[in-house]
Chain A
């Protein structure tokens, strides 16, 4: 997530707190010095680590190439056609849509509710906060492995719960009907704590006098929440939505240990689809085409979102 925050920052979505001096506006001279001092390293790094790899991927996507040696077999846009003709690609796209939908409809409201309950500084709240934040600290791969045991239909926790009700336990990860659902549950479990922490941080830095003023004016607790607190959280909510969507589009390391995108591609995300087809099959050109498509989707989203929803920040 560090990486995602950093990239969001680079795109200008999250701005570092501005100093009083910056608020007044720097002089042209000052700006020029800053430009000369700070632009070249940033530009160099950006070119080296962002522009070049993307350009390279775009270049490879025009070849039928297995990753060995230099690409020679130019096929133009055929790779893109092959990708769009693959049923599994559309499934992966749909799954990414599902992850976004669940993140927005389940994960964020859950995080917000918990944040509202736990923002006060009493002892149990601190403990609970840590508890809810814990899944986020766990590495994705470890989480995936743990849950693949939890979901195991023979020995897993889910199986034993099922058995206490006297039913034959299902193998959630082995069925095309339930594999994606199982992945979604892990996604929500893993990331809600992160958003909850963002909301708590925002709640704690709220101007308390506004809430007090509402109280004095006779607003009920619900009214205060609805008309004062939540609107004041909008900037953080917009940020959370942004992280949730970009994170959902990039989801990979949870899917691999859980299902590897299977069975029958039913739980692939765009990135696991890229991996399964581009890397495992040594079709680097084809994989690059998927990468470019994914990149285009992410960039389009990031800029549109920034323009429409985060304009005033």
Chain B
């Protein structure tokens, strides 16, 4: 009993101490950004916010991408959860909303939200309620190395169709250049091929039909064909040796080191490759080129359709109002312009794209502006249980262990099981 009494006293003491400590409000902000230059700006933004709001502390926490995805469900249900978390929107966000672990911040961002790109805000809205704020848009396409392309006499601007790409791969191989580098161990970089082919072959209509279970769902013709076309590429052995053992940051570094001619990547890799290159310099603006994902003969998707991310921040249940306030500051024209000027983001706040001063980033911004159909990454938009299967089968097609038809069937099976 005496022990219990002591324990009780200790508990009370802890509570009191905690109360004293929480007189200052701490906003815990969990991110996955690996580019130190960008984190540095974020950190400065947080410190500036703290200076303007005495008593508020912004605490940055970091988790690596894959670890973050794996831990998220547990993190969100813990009492000590962070207040602001990173999100790719899509099915994962839907699950989180249904589970009731997020705050509805509609009222707090009223008025302010009008300043955001509507499509980007829509990705964080469900049933008219806003659960988070978008922060950046991105496009998936081929980054290329000008020197290596020139060495093999391949003109990146001339790669317009899938067959052009296959021909380019053959030419590059012939010239002794590794055509494409990819982080196959993480699997999702490989799913860009499969997904983007599906976007080109079937367009928005095919994806929506598959979600409704029409035309054979994800086992339908469009998705089988994307597997088959992907297989055509795989059969040319376009990737670096041991690509299934490469994690994405490793692969990005490999591209930055100038060891491969191309990489199918998110537009942010344009910058990330510098940070991850062995010499921390990477490929300068004069050495790097870009072309959009090639079109497919007879494909129903428009050449302007884009695949990419709509990323942003969510506020978790029970967070202090300062979390939303800070977020509004973080996604303000001022900060977005600053991040855009440093070429880290394609901004979502209207007018902030004036900050873009780099021709590459301007090009991506223009592409996104032209796009009538911006497909979020399948592995995010289909939710974790199905999305991971998309990644799995993409890696299996790439590794030659699964036939395209079986891949499409596996995704449909997962979709049926999960929904």
Q: Which of B99, B245, B399 contacts A153 (CB 8 A)?
A: B245
Given contacts A68-B77, A282-B384, contact A175 B244 (CB under 8 A): yes
Q: Are A174 and B246 in contact (CB under 8 A)?
A: yes
Q: Are B242 and A68 in contact (CB under 8 A)?
A: no
Among B69, B73, B244, the most chain A Cβ lie within 10 Å of the Cβ of: B244
A190 at the interface (CB under 8 A from B): no
Chain A residues close to B by CB (< 8 Å):
64, 66-69, 82, 152-154, 168, 170-171, 173-176, 259-260, 262-264, 275, 279-284
Distance in angstroms between the alpha carbons of A151 and B80 in the assembled complex: 39
Among A171, A175, A282, A283, the most chain B Cβ lie within 10 Å of the Cβ of: A282
Q: Are A174 and B385 in contact (CB under 8 A)?
A: no
Smallest Cβ-Cβ distance to A79: which chain B residue? B417
B357 at the interface (CB under 8 A from A): no
Q: Are B385 and A263 in contact (CB under 8 A)?
A: no
Chain B residues close to A by CB (< 8 Å):
69-70, 73-74, 76-77, 95-96, 98-101, 184-185, 187, 241-246, 383-385, 388-389, 395-396, 399, 401-402, 417-418
A22 shortest CB reach to chain B, Å: 31
Distance in angstroms between the alpha carbons of A153 and B76 in the assembled complex: 38
Q: Are B396 and A264 in contact (CB under 8 A)?
A: yes
> Inside 8 A of A279's CB, which chain B residues have their CB?
70, 73
Distance in angstroms between the alpha carbons of A153 and B241 in the assembled complex: 8
Q: Which of B100, B184, B401, B418 contacts A174 (CB 8 A)?
A: B184
| Count: A-B pairs, CB below 8 Å | 86
> Inside 8 A of A66's CB, which chain B residues have their CB?
73, 95, 99, 384-385
Distance in angstroms between the alpha carbons of A284 and B77 in the assembled complex: 14
Known: A175-B244, A263-B184, A264-B395. 13 other contacts (CB 8 A): A64-B417, A66-B73, A67-B73, A67-B74, A153-B242, A175-B242, A176-B401, A259-B185, A262-B187, A263-B185, A263-B245, A264-B401, A280-B388
> Inside 8 A of A174's CB, which chain B residues have their CB?
184-185, 242-246
A243 shortest CB reach to chain B, Å: 29
Distance in angstroms between the alpha carbons of A113 and B417 in the assembled complex: 52
> Inside 8 A of B95's CB, which chain A residues have their CB?
66, 68, 282
Q: Are A282 and B73 in contact (CB under 8 A)?
A: yes
8 A-B pairs in the complex with CB atoms less than 8 angstroms apart: A64-B418, A67-B74, A174-B243, A176-B401, A259-B185, A262-B187, A279-B73, A280-B384
Distance in angstroms between the alpha carbons of A279 and B66 in the assembled complex: 12
Q: Are A68 and B76 in contact (CB under 8 A)?
A: yes
Distance in angstroms between the alpha carbons of A64 and B416 in the assembled complex: 12
Q: Are B385 and A281 in contact (CB under 8 A)?
A: yes
> Inside 8 A of B98's CB, which chain A residues have their CB?
68
> Inside 8 A of A275's CB, which chain B residues have their CB?
70
Distance in angstroms between the alpha carbons of A247 and B74 in the assembled complex: 27
> Inside 8 A of B383's CB, which chain A residues have their CB?
282
A119 shortest CB reach to chain B, Å: 40
The B interface is mostly helix, strand or loop, or mixed, namely helix
* CB-CB nearest 10 A-B residue pairs: A171-B242, A68-B99, A174-B245, A174-B242, A263-B244, A174-B244, A264-B401, A67-B73, A173-B245, A153-B242
> Inside 8 A of B76's CB, which chain A residues have their CB?
68
Q: Are B245 and A280 in contact (CB under 8 A)?
A: no
Distance in angstroms between the alpha carbons of A68 and B317 in the assembled complex: 13
B406 shortest CB reach to chain A, Å: 10
Q: Are A262 and B388 in contact (CB under 8 A)?
A: no
Q: Are A69 and B245 in contact (CB under 8 A)?
A: no
Given contacts A153-B241, A171-B241, A174-B243, contact A260 B185 (CB under 8 A): yes
> Inside 8 A of A68's CB, which chain B residues have their CB?
73, 76-77, 95-96, 98-101
> Inside 8 A of A69's CB, which chain B residues have their CB?
99-100
> Inside 8 A of A284's CB, which chain B residues have their CB?
73
Distance in angstroms between the alpha carbons of A152 and B247 in the assembled complex: 12
Smallest Cβ-Cβ distance to B98: which chain A residue? A68
> Inside 8 A of B96's CB, which chain A residues have their CB?
68
> Inside 8 A of B396's CB, which chain A residues have their CB?
264
> Inside 8 A of B246's CB, which chain A residues have their CB?
174
A272 shortest CB reach to chain B, Å: 12
Q: Are B388 and A281 in contact (CB under 8 A)?
A: yes
> Inside 8 A of A154's CB, which chain B residues have their CB?
241-242
Given contacts A68-B77, A280-B69, A282-B385, contact A176 B245 (CB under 8 A): no
> Inside 8 A of A283's CB, which chain B residues have their CB?
385, 418
A252 shortest CB reach to chain B, Å: 13
Q: Are A262 and B70 in contact (CB under 8 A)?
A: no
Distance in angstroms between the alpha carbons of A217 and B182 in the assembled complex: 69
> Inside 8 A of B417's CB, which chain A residues have their CB?
64, 82
> Inside 8 A of A152's CB, which chain B residues have their CB?
245
> Inside 8 A of A82's CB, which chain B residues have their CB?
417
Q: Are A262 and B384 in contact (CB under 8 A)?
A: no
Distance in angstroms between the alpha carbons of A64 and B73 in the assembled complex: 15
Distance in angstroms between the alpha carbons of A66 and B401 in the assembled complex: 29
Smallest Cβ-Cβ distance to A283: which chain B residue? B385
> Inside 8 A of B184's CB, which chain A residues have their CB?
174, 263
Distance in angstroms between the alpha carbons of A259 and B185 in the assembled complex: 8
> Inside 8 A of A168's CB, which chain B residues have their CB?
241
Distance in angstroms between the alpha carbons of A170 and B244 in the assembled complex: 12
B407 shortest CB reach to chain A, Å: 11
> Inside 8 A of A173's CB, which chain B residues have their CB?
242, 245
Among A154, A168, A284, the most chain B Cβ lie within 10 Å of the Cβ of: A154
Distance in angstroms between the alpha carbons of A152 and B70 in the assembled complex: 25
Q: Are B399 and A176 in contact (CB under 8 A)?
A: yes
